[in-house]
Structure 1
Amino acid sequence: MADIEYDLVVVGGGVLGTFHAYHAMKKGLKVALLEKDAMPKGATVRNFGQVVPSGMNTKWQQYGRKSLKIYKKIHAKFDISVRQEGSIYLASNDEEVQLIEELKEINRANDYTSILFTKTECLRKYPGLNEQYVKAGLFFPEEITVEPRTMIGRVHKYLKKKGVSIFYKAKVIECNALNNEVSTQLANGRMLLSSKVIICNGSDFKTLYPEMFATSDLEISKLQMMKTKSQGDYKISGSILTGLSIRRYEAFAECPSYLKIKSKEPLDSLEKKWGVHILFKQAMDGGVILGDSHEYADADNIDDLGFDLNMDIDNLMLSKAKEIFSLPTYEIEQRWFGMYSQCKNADIYERTIDRNIHIITGIGGKGMTGSAGFSKHNIQQLFNI
């Protein structure tokens, strides 16, 4: 017999699982959140901490905008490291200027505030920006940044205060449907009984349902990032996204000129080979995080991506970054990579087993921005609330 009963057990304490637990709690459900490690250590804590609905297509922008409200609402009650300093896309040539102008019109139709900045306005707002690089910018004042490694732990503390049971070092080894309930067996011998289970972690998905995982359309993206030493008194605010981001992000694919502009790009460039686009974000300790890159492998062949950093990629990103910003120092203090899963043929991987076991994973690069809003919608759907 199980010693505790829940309405919902969420497997995976990253941002996607955490916000499923949050919204279930908000609906009055009794919730347990299970994290296999001492604290989340995957993609949730290995990213920039940029919450940028502006970069998403129209469907996911709606989830991202809901996420902004959720982050801000929690932060107003409990400090989760939110800073509302906006995001800007810096156009480096006439084609990119055309794309940001078109995106502004799309966002005007979507009632999402964006402001076109002239070259002079960009240079005034962002000290150290290379005047030879920037032609114009598109600024989104509502957007925020968080400190990923701080944020998730603080949201967990908030959830505990609200009555969510959180178990760390809770490795799930088996889920079994029992009529209208699900038993979740942990490696430590404990068993939890719940009405539903949601599995939001790709590693747990692979452990619990290996055949299904192996035949899924999930792929893994490996992203390299780095952080400079503290910049002292030098400050840059918010999220800085550049011309390569304009050429990569989903939002711009909805612009009328996008396909024509993309068709002119060289197919054999290193930027395309390694999926490089240059982002900047200043961390609270004064260092500037910059990156990133994208290398891909099928989820069942994750080892093909290797365990090491590719220094050729880092060197390319550094050289590109120096063309955009003159920082007081480009001395690197930390280097790391993150990995996230995404679907090849869908927005997110969703699979239901025996009615009450739901696999929700593969949110890809949309995780930090889209998870909070998407999870609200998903909890409403799964519990018919």
Structure 2
Amino acid sequence: MSAKVLIVGGGILGSMHAFHAVQSGHTVVQLEREADARGASVRNFGLVWVSGRATGADLELSLRARELWERVAESVPGTGFRPNGSLTVVTDPAELAVLEQVCARSDAGLRGFELLDAEGVREHNPAVRGDVLAGMLCRQDAAVEPRLVPRAIRAELEKSGRYEFHAGVEIAAVDDVPSGVLLRDSTGKTWSADQAIVCTGAWHNGVAAPWLRDVETVPVRRVRLHMMQTESLGETLTTSVADADSLRYYPGFDVPALSVMPAQEPSARQWGMQLLMVQRNNGGLTIGDTHMYDEPFGFDVEERPYELLARKAERVLGHRIPRIERRWTGVYSQLAPGVGDSVSGAVGQGIYYHREVVPDVRLVTGPGGRGMTHSPAIAEQTFKAAGLL
């Protein structure tokens, strides 16, 4: 049965919901309060990251998303999807012990893990010429071009004749109507549909504010990160690359050996830092990142994290990184620890926040750093929950 679906938000979650809706035969109107997506959806690595996902529902969702990303890329090659895999490199025997235990788990095959010695790392990714003891290849990891994805999806959907995108529209309220939904924007204009999906990301104010505060504990928090991009590397970084600090951050690496890893450098611990590097389709490197949880976040960009990240990247590559072209911070919405599914009526398996806030209106937010990875599978789950499949 075809329906008219109103989607609020032009980021990756909103765009993937729009894609799934049109692919399922529905008519879609998508609204974005900015001129274009400007939040965490375009300020990230573009990683489709299976390797670090927690065993269980998180891993299952990421594997489904990885499969769906392949299908999206077939329809929308402009996403820049590439199954390049990843290498997590280590320099210390205690770090290597973590990789050995991770690769010995029963789900290692599902993730496409393979343990490599230093020579194997360089054979698989010749651009990694630093002092590396070993590395773990994850064949399931992939990458997309985050700055291009929302526009590429919109351009493809416009060909269907069942899709409209409206920029500069901020929804302010939901009106009570006998059937369907009626949303009112900040100018007073109304937008009607059979169902609405609200994906406003880290914008916890506006129309989402009362829904996020009508429960005992606010279910989501905001996280700030630092990232940068360089000029062309001049050679191919054949995989995405992570350092040993990512083992501390991602739940998929929670094995007994993790507790005896060397302590993180104080400065890296202060900034919640891990090294991730992804090569863009223009040859430049996206390098990050940090994690800051205590609001209010500063309005300025601090230089120290970038210096630390540059040094980390140079140790892995074995030489100076190219000139930095741009730096930025971003803020994403993350499911608050210990909340999420404990809220009455919420779904999302403790991975993201999804609740039918009023009849036929669903709020979907809080995937955190998983947003790019999980977005197609989250959209699929939304449409199943809404009875639109």
Among 45, 52, 55, the residue aligned to 1:55: 52
CA contact (8 A) 2:208 2:363 kept: no
Q: Which residue of 2 aligns with 1:93?
A: 92
CA contact (8 A) 2:12 2:149 kept: no
- Decide whether aligned partners of structure 1 residues 192 and 6 sit closer, same or farther in structure 2, where only a CA change above 3 A counts: farther
The one-letter code sitting in structure 1 at the alignment partner of 2:45 is: F
Q: Which residue of 2 aligns with 1:379?
A: 383
Deviations 1:13-62 (A, max 9, x none): 11111112222223322222111112101000001111111111122222
Q: Which residue of 1 aligns with 2:233?
A: 231
Q: Which residue of 2 aligns with 1:157?
A: 155
Quote how far apart the aligned CAs of 1:130 are.
Answer: 4.2
- Decide whether aligned partners of structure 1 residues 275 and 109 sit closer, same or farther in structure 2, where only a CA change above 3 A counts: closer
Deviations 1:180-231 (A, max 9, x none): 3210122355322122211111465510143444561322111101112222
SS at 1:124's partner residue? helix
Tell me whether 136-145 or 287-296 shows the greater mean CA deviation.
Answer: 136-145
Give the whole-Å Cα distance in 2 for the aligned partners of 1:119 and 1:248: 23
Give the whole-Å Cα distance in 2 for the aligned partners of 1:211 and 1:39: 25
- Decide whether aligned partners of structure 1 residues 368 and 374 sit closer, same or farther in structure 2, where only a CA change above 3 A counts: same
1:248 and 2:249 equivalent? Answer: yes
Counterpart mapping for 1:83-162 below 5 A: 83-106=82-105, 108=107, 111-132=110-131, 134-162=132-160
CA contact (8 A) 1:107 1:114 kept: no
Deviations 1:216-273 (A, max 9, x none): 13221111011122223x22122111111122112112x2433x236x636x812111
CA contact (8 A) 1:56 1:249 kept: yes
Quote how far apart the aligned CAs of 1:327 are.
Answer: 4.1
Among 282, 285, 294, the residue aligned to 1:285: 282
Aligned-residue identity in percent: 26
The one-letter code sitting in structure 1 at the alignment partner of 2:286 is: I
Gaps of 5+ in 2: 341-350
The one-letter code sitting in structure 2 at the alignment partner of 1:69 is: E
Quote how far apart the aligned CAs of 1:366 are.
Answer: 0.5
Q: Which residue of 2 aligns with 1:257?
A: 257
Give the whole-Å Cα distance in 2 for the aligned partners of 1:174 and 1:316: 44
Deviations 1:285-325 (A, max 9, x none): 2211111111113xxx4xx2112111111111112222221
Quote how far apart the aligned CAs of 1:328 are.
Answer: 5.5
The CA RMSD measured in Å over matched residues stands at 2.3
- Decide whether aligned partners of structure 1 residues 191 and 107 sit closer, same or farther in structure 2, where only a CA change above 3 A counts: farther
Q: Which residue of 2 aligns with 1:322?
A: 314
Among 347, 370, 374, the residue aligned to 1:366: 370
Deviations 1:109-144 (A, max 9, x none): 663322221211112233343453x22111122321
SS at 1:280's partner residue? strand
* TM-score w.r.t. length of structure 1: 0.89
Among 323, 337, 340, the residue aligned to 2:332: 340
CA contact (8 A) 2:50 2:140 kept: no
CA contact (8 A) 2:223 2:333 kept: yes
Quote how far apart the aligned CAs of 1:330 are.
Answer: 3.5
CA contact (8 A) 2:220 2:334 kept: yes
The one-letter code sitting in structure 2 at the alignment partner of 1:324 is: V
SS at 1:75's partner residue? helix
SS at 1:43's partner residue? coil
CA contact (8 A) 1:237 1:281 kept: no
Gaps of 5+ in 1: none
SS at 2:326's partner residue? strand
Give the whole-Å Cα distance in 2 for the aligned partners of 1:307 and 1:25: 38
CA contact (8 A) 2:211 2:357 kept: no
Give the whole-Å Cα distance in 1 for the aligned partners of 2:203 and 2:354: 14
* TM-score w.r.t. length of structure 2: 0.88
